[in-house]
Structure 1
């Protein structure tokens, strides 16, 4: 069941004034529903409505309004996403299916839909960064999330992600963000962290969650 959006939240995602959104409701262009005493529209229904009209859902903070960029922190996102060791997978597709099962997500996120989006993105172009690391992510943000999530997976056996350098992937950072700005900031922080040969070498030897977070803290992964 997708999250119920208030009229104010729906208008914000559509990028229109609340008065305009309510006018569309009065005109019958958008149907509001009631759930648990609250009136609004399920996120999935708004997403479908917008897709049919070629409208991209984008929070106002993405359009020059208030932004939470200053709160984006790779270390915090990784703590929210968790660290998983010895993950077994026979292919990239198999891994993504397993990852979507493991990543901690709010109940309103449709995991099957998320998997489809991750597969579509991976089929467009590899998300491997090189040096044995990949960063799968959907093309568009997950508006259902309140804060970005980065789940880290240490694979039992390296996988071929079709990396440019030809090296199989050993460590995967699954990156999920509620906005494009937050995604780009996290990606920048991760790239900064991974540019250090010492950090990459430490990842190769990492064997516990505590050790992983210590590597992040000492190698620039806690920058904001």
Structure 2
């Protein structure tokens, strides 16, 4: 599944003012809770924190792909957030992160989860896309960029 298929404009947020790993994850869950109505924000956050305990989802180049599996979820949901200032996220290259692409998938959609993560990583390996994402200064232009990227 492509990011453009599961990202909504309401789950896209540009230049968020947060200063810590926990705060960005909370912001992501706040946005996702609008789409995943059958699961509350705390459970969304728990799914991300549980995954982060296994190792940081900061993939390098200022990008992180936090993700979690959700029991009782009916569909995959993505959240895209950029931050005003890059924050420490324990990324593999030790660089601070300013682009967050979060993914929540139903617990029983293992292959879909892996395929979607792979597609997101591929999209964000394109330096041109990364540069354009960082240049966006409003939610709608960020959302439109992702829709046009596929």
| Bigger proportion of residues as strand | 2
Does structure 1 residue 130 correspond to structure 2 residue 68? no
What secondary structure, in the 3-state scheme, does the structure 2 residue paired with 1:166 have? coil
What is the CA–CA distance in structure 2 between the aligned matches of 1:114 and 1:192, rounded to whole Å? Answer: 25
* TM-score, length of structure 1 as denominator length: 0.60
Q: Is the 8 A contact 1:101 1:111 kept in 2?
A: yes
2:99 to 157, 163, 171: 171
1:192 to 118, 122, 137: 122
* Equivalent residue runs for 1:110-121 within 5 Å: 110-121=40-51
> Unmatched 5+ residue regions in structure 2?
none
Residue 25 of structure 2 corresponds to: 96
Per-residue deviation at 1:99?
A: 2.0
Cα distance change on mapping 1:177 and 1:201 into 2, 3 Å = same
What is the CA–CA distance in structure 2 between the aligned matches of 1:79 and 1:101, rounded to whole Å? Answer: 14
CA RMSD of aligned residues (A): 1.9
Residue 86 of structure 1 corresponds to: 15
The 4+ residue runs of structure 1 with deviation greater than 6 A are none
Bigger Rg, which one: 1
Q: Is the 8 A contact 2:14 2:136 kept in 1?
A: no
Structure 1, 144-153 or 210-219: larger mean CA deviation: 210-219
Q: Is the 8 A contact 2:7 2:77 kept in 1?
A: yes
Q: Is the 8 A contact 1:132 1:170 kept in 2?
A: yes
* TM-score, length of structure 2 as denominator length: 0.86
